[in-house]
Structure 1
Amino acid sequence: MYRLDLNKSWSLKSGEKTYTADVPCSLYKTLIENKVIPDPYYRENEYISTDICDNGCTFEKTFDVDSQLLDCGRKILRFDGIDTLSEVCLNGELLGKTDNMHRIWEYDANGKLKEKGNILTVKLFSPNEYIRQKQKERPLIGVEHSMAGYPHLRKAHCMFGWDWGPKLPDMGIWRNVSLCFFDKGRINSIYFTQKHEGGKVTLCCTADMDILETDPPEKISARLTVTSPDGISQTFPIEEGKAEVVIDDPKLWWVRGLGEQPLYTCTVEMYCGEHIFDSVTKRIGLRTLTISQEKDEWGKEFCFINNGVRIFAMGANYIPEDQIVTRCTKERTVKLLDDCKAANYNFIRVWGGGYYPDEYFYDWCDENGFIIWQDFMFACSAYLLTPEFESTVRAEFKDNILRLRNHASLGMWCGNNEIESAWRYWGWADDKQCKADYLRLFEDIIPSMLSELDPETFYWPSSPSSGGGGTDPDSAQAGDKHYWDVWHNFKPIEAFRQYHYRFCSEYGFESLPDIKTCLYFADESKGDLDLCGNVMQAHQKCTQGNEKVMYYLAQMVNYPYDFRRLIYCSQIVQADCIRSNVEHMRRARGRCMGSAYWQVNDSNPVISWSSIDYFGRWKALHYYARKFHAPILLSCDDSEPAKPALYVTNDTLNDEELTIIENLRGNDGSIICKGECRGIIKAMSAKKMCMTDYSAELAEREDRRTKYLEYKLIKNGEVISGGTTLFVRPKEFIFLPSKINAEVHDRGDIFEIGLTSDNYAKSVCLSLKDYDCIFSDNWFDIHGSEKVSITADKSQLPENMTAEQLRSQLQIQNY
């Protein structure tokens, strides 16, 4: 097979004007690049940008084809993604119409190509007008933050707006375009299944192949070559579309933190004599990976099991990285996933209101040992299974199941986000037809297709759910749960710890992004740095979002009179809130076996629940995640403030002998009394190690406001985990004025920043005035004169920056 890339040198016709573009290309992206429209993320520009998609546009390309390629027996025009409603024409002939962003579209180009001057046209139609008309004909339920009628169209829902995203319903060619030329046949797909038994793995390959008729007929053969991670190859014949390989000494793929991620390279080739005319290569991991729902004392567990080991899944929910999806790139995705790895994730959930990510997303997860929870692209909405809608979603399911099913990182499929619970709890109108179609779509069609196309991957009908059928989808005894009473329902932060989940796949808390991010979309000289002002409201999509920010700040911290202080306070409250819940869940390891906070990333510069903002800047939460996701975690249950209990959670495969040191300190950082305990914590377990009664030391109100507990976990003389606990909320604690001293030293490839304080300094935040930097630690405490050393990698900073220059850039905040 030969592939001719058609991504370059397109033209966009919008109105009476024409612009150049390369795939991935879209209306918004092209108009922004040509400065025809202003940045929709700036100030309130979103409001003048939505209606641009009221009218259609046309993308067109002229190309030539080598005369030898025209002689190939089969020619296919392939679009990996068109967004969304279009007519595709080649040399004036209509090849077909598209109605689904999530599908691959292929067209027979035999007899339609010429050697010179081929013209390929994609005429796109307004998504706004389409959903408007469809909603008028037959209303469908959706979320309040989006444009009415969006469930009628198979397009990333969040492009129509969400409670973290603007209404920018773009259109364009968002994935690769190519011409594929086949000589004697084609490999349509390959699928690998595994049987693990007796220390061996039997690898079964099923290949779906088309053989073209030739005159005279030729002998067509196929073979499978398996190359081990250490480079040893074996080749096996494929007969009747199948081959079976026994691997005697398999190198198993493990979830991150439990082992390595060796990948086997498997290549299927079709050949005739010595001529190979098509080949497909997949990299696979030899592993078992599924969800266990075994009954236990609390109900039924919901737990990933990898090679027989029960995994506590730690991570977050992932959304599209840009509201204008044609601006998403491999480099941005890899950087985001690297940042997740740096925060000790082993798991990520692909949320159902966006799109199925690109191949490189899954490749990275394969290589780095992440488990992927993969939603199908349905969220918070009712759908009508018309014949046309059913036909296109069936094709969508097939395309994406075939594309993703061989990835080692694929841990489960999930039918949708929150629709089962919405029918049960959200007060939706009783639409009997849509309710019946819900059951048919998510509890019949998808599981039936998966049983045929990917029977080895676990399927879950909805999130949250206890198993489907609308039976208590919010159960705490089985399945997964979304817990939003903290935030949406104004419950206090401590409410997190009143519940025990089996797997909490959504919960969250908002904060403002970094000041540099705010200044990207706001003009300080025009008074935009006002949380209640129009610009900040435009960048807060959650209903009553800014009111909720202030409500929770009022509970936890002193009033921030300065906008930069407001950012700081919002981030520390967010981080402490999520930390409290994650540590609570990890202390309950065995009962709870998974945590995915909402959300890791942003699709635009916005006030949101993310731990990393649109520009990749870490909030306090992401620094905290690196600590509360640590493989061995020391955490404090301070439900009884005067009797704090210290727990160790060990998510490694080894028993560990550890030492806990706890110091009761005064607000000047001095140690009032100390304690120590030692113990062995078994592999893959959580245990209460010690509980000290400080009732005498905290007898008076003033004691609780001037003393705090520091605790740290020691392994082989090194601190591997730790934290501090106040006995009152931060706004009630009496902090002494803290003068923080910072010295910067050049240590070769890094700068070392040494910090001390004359008193206890809580939640010390480092930033640079003009640059971005991810520090070795941040949002940390300084216990008076006890030095804290932080490093900054020089590769992140301007070349030839000196220690003095870094010190002059350094900005320090603390509580």
Structure 2
Amino acid sequence: MTRLHLHDGWRLSTDADIPVTLPAGGVTATVPGCVHTDLLTAGLIDDPYLDDNETRLTWIGRTDWTYRTTFTWRRDGHDRTDLLFAGLDTVAAVSLNGTVLGETANQHRGYRFPVRQLLHEGHNTLEVRFTAPYTYAEDLRDRLGDRPGAYSEPYPFIRKMACNFGWDWGPTLVTSGIWRPVTLESYSGDRIAQMRLLADTGTDGVPRLTVALDVDRLDGTGELTAEVEVAGERARLTVPEGHSCGRVSLSVPGAELWWPRGYGEQPLYEVTVRLGEQEQRARTGFRGVELEREAFRIAVNGEPVFVRGVNWIPDDCFPSRLTRERIAARLDQAAEAGANLVRVWGGGLYESDDFYELADEKGLLVWQDFPFACAAYPEEQPLYDEVAAEARENIVRLAPHPSLVLWCGNNENLEGYADWGWQDELQGRTWGHGYYHRLLPGLVAELDPTRPYWPGSPYSGAPSRPPQDPTRGTVHLWDVWNRVDYRTYADHVPRFVAEFGFQGPPAYSTLRTAVSGELALDSPLLAAHQKADDGQGKLLRGLGDHLPQPRDLDDWHWLTQLNQARAVAFGIRHFRSHAPYCMGTVVWQLNDCWPVVSWSAVDGEGRRKPLWYALREAYADRILVVRDGAVYVVNDGPRIWEGTLRAARRSLSGAVLAEAELPVGCAPRSVSRVELPAELTEPGDKTRELFVAELGGQRVVEFYAEDTEVAFPGAELTARVEPLGPGGGDGYRVTVSAHTLVRDLALFPDRLDPAAETDRALITLLPGEQAAFEVTGALLPDPSALAKRPVLRCVNEAHGAD
């Protein structure tokens, strides 16, 4: 078998009347890529991520485009040749040497066309003509009848990344293009058309591999035999005469089990399948997955896992720009923040092979939504067959990955039908029920019975129950952020929280790059990077009595970032303290696709927001949570946590007003309640006292009143800046000594250099304590600026001395 990549020599053109002038013959196109990035590279459009440029580029998604290239082909000694498109976005007609090979209408699947008889010795012309996504989707909407959804965009009528059409954190940048590789593949004889791998622990606990082959046969005569090899074990797979499918299962007793991070190692094994002269390889790991449905408790290899999760959206509006290195960096940020699961949200994509391979290696569990989100989706043709085809392809593609532990039918569509008034609008029209309750579970059961399927989120386990029943299944908690204070999280005790979050702005350097001109709270360009309904108002109202209202943009940036971090951490800590009744939190969201004010912990330029540091604390294996007159000792580690809990009520000056030493023995993967004596829970003056508890290197500091009520002293501190290496080339250590109480000390070195970052944030110091920050990534002309506002911040910096 020989393969020829067809990524060179492409030109992009259009016959439409457009606001820019293309050169004769079109512009140079990058494949894989898309129209937006090609026009940007050609200098014909401004960067859609900057200022409000996005609003002037809607014409791109309403224009038909043509990609064309010429390639050289010579006879190669093979009998058959196919043209493979791993991904076309989205509605296209493919032609070779003037003959139409086929039409496509699905970004979520690949295409194979037999082309041997059409190839010319020497030069060949390949053309892909894209119909504007809006044209296709709106025509289908007119034919099938409109459907309700969260946004007045036609994304339910085209099998394409829904958030391309805009979201409450993303721009409307509707793409077309050849977004995944193009290959010419030549071969002779029978071809392995599909290899499906299912690896689990078997019924007896011994690792087991099942291999199923679909073979594209020249004819049906004769029996075919393939050889399967994994971890030193071999088996023969037979395709009987007259058939095109074969299957074999083999025990692999020498293989070790794959575990999620924090529970064990992640051994991976190469599987080799040989059929004649063909050889296919894949990598897999062995593990078992179970879902206790009422409690929504995920168990791996029989071990229940408290899910410390993050939601994942496409990391770029133009996913062809994503490299393996960038995905690795983002997943590393998830793991370093303490996450053990990434939920691939349903308004995006089935992600690249790189994504799942890296999740396998890093021990990050993956919850995969099918691509349906926040709308009623029609089930009529041609959409129904497209959904079935994409689901079949991707279920098989992702089956080898041990990290993938759950298939979920959709995001919020079951809730939309039940609770958002859709039924009246639909008037009996289809909305997706058949996908989520029949088609998709049937395909998962047929193609990948090693993994559980869940119809949607939120969902309580049966169509007859309210989707947001907190006693069963999953819930999404959006009353906080939209309507109520984040302390309301304490009123919820759900089984599993699959979405909840709070907004905050991106890093200052990210915002500064994205917005030209003056940055001000009332800047229209800043507003262009806030997509949530009344987002700015909710940010300011969300400060509540937790933090003061900002006086200027610097205060707004610092206080709203801090409030985001506190809100999400408060929710996580509360939910974790209710384990094992509650067995999971999946924060909305890990990442961004562009520079924007959003719910993310890592912004669109990959910079960590204060929320990321708060996640790292709240998602640590061991934490202490103060609530209801007690300290809850949360131990999600593999060993017992025992020792003496030292708890004290102190004045703001640090003086001990009351204290207690309480013995603790908390078993692995459990929570213990330690009752506090009244002298620790009842302050003499709630505005001038605080509570501190410590156990085994973990500390929790809580105040008896909100920050706006606390009589904070003016922050008195000294900061010493010294290089980590000769000349500061390795970075800097900033050592802060507190002479008074210092509340939530943070460092923002990116304000001095966009490449600079710090290793920690949000540290509360008692009088006499020190904290050291390591700043890396930049050589600064004036390192002393690290010790000054607005780089060095704390809550009580603006308070006068008490």
- From 707, 710, 713, give the equivalent of 1:730: 707
Q: Relative to structure 1, is the Cα distance of residues 804 and 121 closer, same or farther in structure 2, using a 3 angstrom cutoff?
A: same
Preserved CA contact (<8 Å) 1:461 1:468: no
Given the alignment of the two structures, is residue 710 of structure 1 paired with residue 692 of structure 2, yes or no? yes
Structure 1 residue identity aligned to 2:110: I
Quick one: distance in 1 between partners of 2:784 and 2:190?
66
The 1:697/1:447 distance shift into structure 2, 3 A limit, reads closer
- Native 8 Å contact 1:743 1:754 kept in 2: yes
How do 1:441-456 residues align onto structure 2 when only pairs under 5 Å count?
441-456=435-450
Give the structure-2-normalised TM-score: 0.92
Alignment pair present for 1:483 and 2:477: yes
**2:734–2:786 contact (8 Å) kept in structure 1:** no
Q: Which amino acid aligns with 1:499?
A: H
Candidates 712, 718, 736, aligned match of 1:741: 718
Which residue number in structure 2 is paired with residue 761 of structure 1?
742
What SS does the corresponding residue of 1:75 show, helix, strand or coil? strand
Tell me if the contact between 1:556 and 1:729 (Cα under 8 Å) persists in the aligned partners.
yes
1:297 is matched with: none
Q: Pairwise mapping of residues 407-806 of structure 1 onto structure 2 (< 5 A)? A: 407-430=401-424, 436=430, 438-488=432-482, 490-525=483-518, 528-530=519-521, 532-637=522-627, 639=628, 643=629, 645-694=630-679, 698-699=683-684, 703-714=685-696, 719=697, 721-747=698-724, 751-768=732-749, 769-792=752-775, 794=776, 796-798=777-779
Q: Does 1:331 find its partner at 2:308?
A: no
Question: What is the letter of the counterpart of residue 596 of structure 1?
Answer: V
Which SS does the other structure have where 2:93 is aligned?
Answer: strand
Offset at 1:543?
A: 1.0
Cα gap change, 1:435/1:136 in structure 2, threshold over 3 Å: closer, same or farther? Answer: closer
Q: Contact 1:74–1:182 (CA<8 Å) still a contact in 2?
A: yes
For 2:229, the equivalent position in structure 1 comes to 225
Shift of 1:513: 1.3
2:43 to 16, 35, 59: 35
- The partner residue of 2:72 within 41, 54, 64 is 64
1:322–1:328: 8 Å Cα contact kept in structure 2?
yes
Query: What residue number does 1:13 align with?
Result: 13
Matched letter for residue 791 of structure 2: Q
Q: Distance in 1 between matches of 2:39 and 2:305?
A: 47
CA distance in 2, matches of 1:48, 1:142: 27
Give the corresponding residue for 1:235: 234
**Alpha-carbon contact 1:146-1:160 (below 8 Å) kept:** no
Q: State yes or no: 1:186 paired with 2:191.
A: yes
Distance 2:481 2:783 in 1: 42
Alignment of 1:21-170 (within 5 A): 21-68=29-76, 71-147=77-153, 149-170=154-175
| Alpha carbons of structure 1 residues 470 and 110: separation in structure 2 relative to 1, 3 Å | farther
Residue 790 of structure 1 deviates from its aligned partner by: 2.6
- The answer to whether the 8 Å contact 1:140/1:382 transfers is no
Show the counterpart of 1:291: 291
Structure 1 position 117, deviation (Å): 1.2
Measured after TM superposition, the shift of residue 803 of structure 1 is 7.1
- What residue in structure 2 maps to residue 400 of structure 1? 394
- Amino acid paired to 1:652: G
Check the 8 A contact 1:517/1:615 in 2, yes or no. yes
- Report the Cα distance in structure 2 between the residues aligned to 1:314 and 1:289, rounded to whole angstroms: 17
Q: Secondary structure at the match of 1:763?
A: strand
- For residues 538 and 145 of structure 1, the distance between their equivalents in structure 2, rounded to whole angstroms, comes to 17
Range that drifts further, 241-250 or 589-598:
241-250
Distance 1:9 1:133 in 2: 33
Matched residue SS, 2:735:
strand
Shift of 1:442: 1.1
- Offset at residue 324 of structure 1 (A): 2.5
Residue by residue, what CA displacement relative to the aligned partner does 1:656-698 show, whole Å, maximum 9, x if unpaired?
Answer: 2233223333323444444332321111111112423237962
Show the counterpart of 1:370. Answer: 364
Distance 2:215 2:201 in 1: 24
Aligned-pair distance for 1:219?
8.1
Distance in 2 between the 1:663 and 1:696 partners?
10
- In the other structure, the counterpart of 1:302 is 296
Letter in 1 for 2:761: N
Q: Label 1:696 to 1:410 Cα distance change in 2 as closer, same or farther (>3 A).
A: closer
* Counterpart contact for 1:466–1:479, Cα < 8 Å: yes
Q: Deviations over 1:367-407 (max 9, x none)?
A: 11111110000011112222211111111111111111111
Write out per-residue CA displacement over residues 559-597 of structure 1, whole angstroms, 9 at most, x where no aligned residue.
211212101101111111111111111111110001001
- Would the aligned equivalents of 1:635 and 1:722 in 2 still touch at CA under 8 Å? no
Specify the code of the residue in structure 2 equivalent to 1:611: A
Alpha-carbon contact 1:611-1:622 (below 8 Å) kept:
yes
RMSD of aligned C-alpha atoms? 2.3
When residues 654 and 812 of structure 1 are mapped into structure 2, their CA distance, relative to the original with a 3 A threshold, is: same
> For 2:756 and 2:655, how far apart are their aligned partners in 1?
32
8 Å contact kept, 2:7–2:30: yes
Cα 1:482–1:696 change in 2 (3 A) is closer
> Which residue identity does 1:49 align to in structure 2?
L
Matched, 1:196 2:202: yes
Q: CA 1:692–1:173 in structure 2 vs 1: closer, same or farther (change >3 Å)? A: farther
The 2-side partners of 1:774 and 1:302 are apart by 38
Cα distance in 2 for partners of 1:634, 1:340 equals 22
Q: Deviations over 1:684-732 (max 9, x none)?
A: 1111124232379623xxx211211222221xxxx1x322111111111
Q: What is the alpha-carbon distance in structure 2 between the residues aligned to residue 198 and residue 52 of structure 1?
A: 56
CA distance, structure 2, for counterparts of residue 696 and residue 604 of structure 1? 45
Determine the C-alpha separation between the residues in 2 that align with 1:394 and 1:522. Answer: 43
Q: Distance in 1 between matches of 2:417 and 2:269?
A: 44
Partner of 1:314: 308
* Partner of residue 242, structure 2: none
Q: CA deviation at 1:484?
A: 0.7
Partners of 1:388 and 1:695 lie apart in 2 by: 66
Question: Is there any run of 5+ residues in structure 1 with no aligned partner, and where?
Answer: 228-232, 294-299
Count of residue pairs brought into register by the alignment: 774
Q: Deviations over 1:244-287 (max 9, x none)?
A: 3222243111111010000111111112xxxx2x2222211111
Which segment is superposed worse, 372-381 or 433-442?
Answer: 433-442
CA contact (8 A) 2:504 2:597 kept: yes
C-alpha contact (below 8 Å) 1:668/1:758 kept by paired residues: no
Query: Any idea what the Cα deviations from partners look like across 1:623-655, whole Å, max 9, x if unmatched?
Result: 011111111121211x5xxx4x21111112322
* d(CA) in 1 for partners of 2:195, 2:255: 24
Q: What residue identity is the alignment partner of 1:10?
A: W
Going from structure 1 to structure 2, the CA distance change for 1:537 and 1:143 (only over 3 Å counts) comes to farther
The C-alpha deviation readout for 1:472-526, integer Å capped at 9, x for no partner, is 11111111000111111x212111111111110011111111111111222343x
Secondary structure, counterpart of 1:83 in structure 2: coil
- Residue-by-residue CA offset, 1:316-375 (whole Å, 9 max, x unaligned): 110011123332322221111010011011001000001110011101111111111100
Give the AA of the match of 1:814.
C
Contact 1:184 1:212 in 2 (8 A): yes
Q: 1:219 to 1:145 in 2, by over 3 A?
A: closer
**Given that residues 108 and 349 in structure 2 are in contact (C-alpha distance below 8 angstroms), is that contact kept between their aligned partners in structure 1?**
yes
The answer as to whether partners of 1:743 and 1:753 remain within 8 angstroms in 2 is yes
